Structures are given as C-alpha cells and as structure tokens.
Copies of this chain bind each other. A is one copy, B any other.
C-alpha cells in the first residue's frame, strides 16, 4: 500500500481525487494541503512521508514551483507528480528541472492517471506522450528560445507594463529615467520575441507573471 499526499487549493478537486486514488486500492491518501506552506507544515508535523505527492502548480501563498524548490533543497528524494490545468511549456520544464517525476494535465484520463501512479512507484517517473514531446521540442529548439530568464528588475518592469500606466509613470515608480525604461522595453521585446506592449502583456499572462 503506497501513501499519497495531495496538495491542491481546490478542495472539491482534492477530495474527489482522493476518492479516485483510493478506488485503485493500492493507494491511500494520508493527507491534503491547500498550499505548499501548509504541506511543508504537515510533513514535519505528522512526521509522515508520503510515497508520492500529487502537487498542483497554481496555489495561493506558496505555489507548486516554490514548493518544489523547497523539496529539492530539503527532501530531494520525495517523489512528486505535478498536476496542472495548464500546459505552459515553461512551467513544465521548470517543474521537471526542480525534480518532479512527471507532469499530469488535469484532462488526463483516469487509466493513464493510475498508470502514472504505478510508474512513479515502480520506475520513479512517468511522462505522457504530450509532455515527452514538449521536452523533445525543447531540446532541439534554437538556443534563443531555450530558456528565457528575466532579471528581477525586468520582471518588475514587466508587471508594471501590464497596467494602464504610461512608461513615464512606470519610470517614476521605478525611480528610473524614462530612457532606461526604454531600454528595458527593448530588451524584453527582443528576449520575449514580441513587438509591442500588448505582446508583453500576453507573455506575462501566459507565463503566470501576472495574475488575471
């Protein structure tokens, strides 16, 4: 009997998923958490290590990404299956890089889900064809798109660009000259392969840099 923990802020989904998991009768859900912080708390509190953690990416307070980072630092052997609504390529890559053993989209069918649990238990990982092809796509892609890393200041600017402020007032807010803002804009246009402020906004939303 394998033990499972579920980390997801959608209670209805979490408890439903528990029923599904337990209908497989080789698995038992030992606890839920609604965000990473709570999960970490319960880990140490109960002193119970689940065999597999099913972890949502988008959660309030402490996201799946942040939680994976913590696990990587503190419990690197913990097996985690990421579970998410969206299949943003960047997110998938990031979670796997942080040590997730697989990435499940919520539209996976329950048979595949059971296989994922089994594979992670037995083989240590599970990759759906869709995720595998995302990985492959990412391999042979031109290096420019390979990995876009934004600096803190760039992210700060990007967030402000996703408001109705003018660049001038963004400059004020960041204590920079409008010309410097011009520089950030151009850098981001190039990095993100967009041509306008609208493109910046769309990028930011797609990559969860701003909330919607």
Contacts and interface: CB of A to CB of B under 8 A. Distances in A.
A113 interface: yes
A198 B162 contact: yes
Contacts of A10: 85, 106-107
Given A11-B108, A202-B201, A212-B212, A196 B164 contact: yes
Contacts of A110: 11-12, 15-16
B12 A106 contact: yes
A197 interface: yes
Interface stretch (A17-25, A65-73, A176-184): A17-25
Nearest to A113: B12
Contacts of A206: 212
A162 B206 CA distance: 13
26 contacts: A10-B85, A11-B107, A11-B108, A12-B17, A12-B104, A12-B106, A12-B107, A12-B109, A13-B17, A16-B18, A16-B110, A19-B23, A85-B85, A162-B198, A162-B202, A163-B198, A163-B202, A164-B199, A164-B202, A197-B197, A198-B201, A201-B201, A205-B205, A205-B212, A206-B212, A212-B212
A3 to B, nearest CB: 18
A58 to B, nearest CB: 9
Interface string A1-14: 00000000111110
Interface in A26-72: 34
B106 A13 contact: yes
A161 to B, nearest CB: 8
